[in-house]
Amino acid sequence: MTTEPVIRAQDVAYPHLQVPDLDAIEAFLMDFGMTRADRRADVLHMRGSGSAPFVHLIHQGAPAFLGFAFTLASRDDLDRLAATEGFTPVEALDSPGGGWKTSTRDPDGNLVEAVFGISPLAPLADLSPRLLNMGNDFRRIGAVQRIKAGPSRIKRFGHLALNVANVPASLAWYHQRFGLLQSDRVNLAPGQPVAAFTRCDRGAEPADHHSILFASSMGSGGIAGLNHLSWEVCDIDDVHAGREYLTARRRTPEWGIGRHLLGSQVFDYWRDPWGHIHEHWTDGDQLDASVLPGDHPIGLGRVSQWGPDMPETFGRTIAPAEA
């Protein structure tokens, strides 16, 4: 029997990282396509080119993944969550855009915030996709295509992947509290998922194929924690131009460019100075709540439709900070 969730989250809002040098992480994230939203003595907020006042929150301290935040549909949902066992009372957000939050910890100790009421800002750039002439669909007539060199245009924080101790337990916990739906499962045996791509339940409105990928920590040396963080960029040219810019800035590549099999997005992964993996992606699948999960064997083959093979180092990062 399926349990009715407490609320249904609408999207992910931002991750929490912790690093010892805010100057160095700010420089990396500027190369990655972000700009400073707010900087204090021990905390940094970075934004993309979209309407969110910030898409990345970084604290100063020993390198760690601290957690992330969901966006909720209403203040009523926020109050309902705050009244649920294990959640904190509602409090004001002390960050760009204001708003309110409640928080808890998931089965692996990650901080999970739920936020509502963050005021949007005017976008910093034109986020329209470039017009393309492809197949029999010609959209750019009488005009030339010129791609400006520089960092990617980041639209939003798109998803994260977590290495977890128990995939079924994490799926149940997040569904019961936040209403996450399963899009695709990779199974060791029938009914035994070792990875699951989950999306927000927006009813008839499409959502990203995944807001969270849960992967068994068996593949990360038994360490539960962050696998990677991911930001959506405007189009495929942004992925390629961003890669050229990061390469010129001598940043550390991890994996890409390629197109995933599950989720379909074109991807490019990079490591920050402390090893956290940050992804650019575009052109991912959109699914509404009527789409049932897909099941795939653990030996389904390459995880990408084209591009380089996944390196053995991928997804092996830093465990959560102690609660």
Calculate what percentage of the chain has a pLDDT beyond 70.
Answer: 96
Q: What is the mean pLDDT of residues 281-309?
A: 93
Nearest to 148, CA basis, from 168, 126, 174, 164: 126
pLDDT class for 24, splitting at 50, 70, 90? very high
Q: What is the mean pLDDT of residues 117-139?
A: 94
Two structure tokens written together for 229: 């963080």
Query: With 80 as the cut, is the pLDDT of residue 58 above it?
Result: yes
Cα–Cα dist 55/47, whole Å: 5
DSSP string, 152-201: --EEEEEEEEEEES-HHHHHHHHHHHH--EEEEEEEEETTEEEEEEEE--
Query: With 50 as the cut, is the pLDDT of residue 323 above it?
Result: no
Query: With 90 as the cut, is the pLDDT of residue 281 above it?
Result: yes
- What is residue 223's predicted lDDT score, i.e. its pLDDT? 82
Query: With 60 as the cut, is the pLDDT of residue 82 above it?
Result: yes
Question: Contact 315/227 with Cβ under 8 angstroms?
Answer: yes
Q: What is the mean pLDDT of residues 226-232?
A: 97
- What is residue 86's predicted lDDT score, i.e. its pLDDT? 98
- What is residue 2's predicted lDDT score, i.e. its pLDDT? 58
Mean pLDDT (the chain, rounded):
94
Q: What is the mean pLDDT of residues 13-38?
A: 98
DSSP string, 39-58: E-SSEEEEE-SSS-S-SEEE
Upper half-sphere CA count for residue 177 (Cβ side, 13 Å): 24
pLDDT class for 224, splitting at 50, 70, 90? confident
Question: Domain 11-121+153-306, what architecture?
Answer: Roll (3.10)
Please write the tens of the pLDDT for every residue from 190-222. Answer: 889 999 999 999 999 999 999 999 999 876 777
- What is residue 239's predicted lDDT score, i.e. its pLDDT? 97
Q: What is the mean pLDDT of residues 235-262?
A: 97
Query: With 90 as the cut, is the pLDDT of residue 298 above it?
Result: no
- What is residue 321's predicted lDDT score, i.e. its pLDDT? 47
Cα–Cα dist 243/223, whole Å: 29
What does the domain layout of the chain look like in residue ranges? 11-121+153-306
Please write the tens of the pLDDT for every residue from 300-322. Answer: 777 899 999 999 889 776 544 44
Query: With 60 as the cut, is the pLDDT of residue 165 above it?
Result: yes
Secondary structure class of 25 (helix, strand, coil): helix
Cα–Cα dist 265/284, whole Å: 4
- What is residue 318's predicted lDDT score, i.e. its pLDDT? 54
Query: With 60 as the cut, is the pLDDT of residue 1 above it?
Result: no
Q: What is the dihedral of CA 219, 196, 72, 41, to 10 degrees?
A: 10
- What is residue 319's predicted lDDT score, i.e. its pLDDT? 47
User: Taking the CB of residue 130, how many other CB atoms lie within 10 A of it?
Assistant: 14
Q: What is the mean pLDDT of residues 77-85?
A: 98
In this structure, the strands spanning 64-71 and 111-116 are parallel
